[in-house]
């Protein structure tokens, strides 16, 4: 009997040791650079299941740098680059079945992605991030198109300085969380489409807007602040959707003209920012800055 107990105890100790060892996660570091072919554009796809994601300008005119640190047991990376076609795909997939959980940086799992973008190459960026903390500074680049989708988390995307080229399309789609999109006028977009799900959102259209730029902001549930430029002509239509269920506060500097609001700088549709805002269920604050 004594021998049997010793065997059982040995098995238990082995199991406990194995469990502890299994929690000792290994962190992988990935650091690579990709150079655009001369005269080529770069089509970049960012596909991240969860983590902390930073995107910012690089100290380079033609080179993308990708840095990832992640827990090998929880994530796997896949990066592919086609220099001839000018395509770079950056993936960080969760190994777990539940990919849609909120990312928790306090646990033993780690996922950090940093992408440095060149300022001398025309860029087409598609970004889909399921969950996490996202920070993107995109000012001063040559960004032709930007598509951003986020399902859950905290987001800040900003354009501190004007885009070096006119952006054909700015497409933003967020589902749940706290999001801030700052100085979008510096993106120099022709068209912008902003869709918000549930949470708190700030959309700031100040900056070096293109004449005749058009933007649409569609809100679902939560608190939203839309900031419009004071020194640039604005014509805004506010209504539709769940407008009758929303609480709206509109800057006194926007005066009603027909079915729209205009500011003092407005002269014609050709020179103004044309924006359509569809309120959701919650609070909407529209102000000039």
Q: Determine the Cα–Cα distance for residues 195 and 215; give it in Å rounded to an integer.
A: 11
- Rounded CA separation 269/235 (Å): 7
Q: What is the pLDDT of residue 243?
A: 65
Tens digits of residue pLDDT in 19-42: 433 445 588 999 999 999 988 899
Q: Which two tokens stand for residue 274?
A: 């044309």
- Which residue has better confidence, 5 or 33? 33
pLDDT tens string 180-216: 999 999 999 999 999 998 999 999 999 999 999 999 9
Q: Is the dihedral of CA 170, 172, 57, 89 positive or negative?
A: negative
Q: How many whole angstroms separate alpha carbon 14 and alpha carbon 9?
A: 9
Which helix or strand (DSSP H or E) is residue 45 part of?
Answer: strand 42-57
From residue 183, alpha-carbon distances to 91, 111, 195, 242 in Å are 28, 28, 17, 27
pLDDT at residue 215, as a whole number:
97
> pLDDT tens for residues 80-110?
999 999 999 999 998 875 544 444 545 567 8
Full set of structural domains in the chain with CATH = 30-288 (2.160.20)
pTM of the model as a whole = 0.85
Confidence of residue 111 (pLDDT cuts 50, 70, 90): very high
């Amino acid at each position: 009997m004594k021998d049997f107990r010793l065997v059982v105890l040995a098995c238990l100790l082995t199991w406990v040791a194995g469990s502890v060892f299994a929690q000792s996660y290994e962190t992988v570091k990935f650091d690579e650079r990709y150079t655009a072919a001369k005269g080529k554009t770069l089509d970049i796809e960012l596909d991240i299941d969860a983590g902390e994601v930073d995107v910012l300008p690089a100290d380079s005119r033609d080179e993308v740098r990708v840095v990832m640190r992640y827990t090998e047991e929880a994530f796997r990376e896949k990066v592919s680059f086609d220099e001839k076609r000018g395509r770079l795909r950056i993936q960080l997939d969760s190994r777990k079945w539940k990919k849609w959980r909120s990312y928790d940086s306090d646990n033993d799992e780690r996922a950090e992605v940093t992408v440095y973008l060149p300022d001398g190459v025309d860029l087409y960026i598609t970004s889909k991030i399921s969950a996490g903390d996202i920070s993107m500074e995109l000012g001063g680049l040559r960004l032709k198109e930007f598509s951003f989708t986020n399902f859950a988390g905290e987001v800040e995307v900003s354009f501190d300085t004007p885009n070096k080229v006119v952006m054909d399309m700015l497409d933003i789609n967020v589902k749940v969380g706290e999001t801030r999109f700052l100085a979008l006028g510096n993106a120099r977009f022709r068209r912008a489409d902003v869709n918000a799900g549930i949470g708190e959102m700030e959309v700031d259209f100040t900056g070096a807007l293109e004449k005749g730029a058009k933007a649409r902001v569609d809100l679902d549930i939560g608190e939203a602040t839309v900031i419009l430029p004071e020194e640039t002509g604005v014509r805004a239509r506010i209504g539709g959707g769940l407008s009758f269920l929303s609480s709206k506060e509109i800057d006194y500097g926007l005066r009603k003209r027909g079915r729209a609001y205009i500011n003092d700088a407005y002269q014609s549709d050709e020179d103004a920012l044309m924006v359509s805002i569809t309120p959701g269920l919650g609070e909407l604050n529209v102000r000039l800055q």
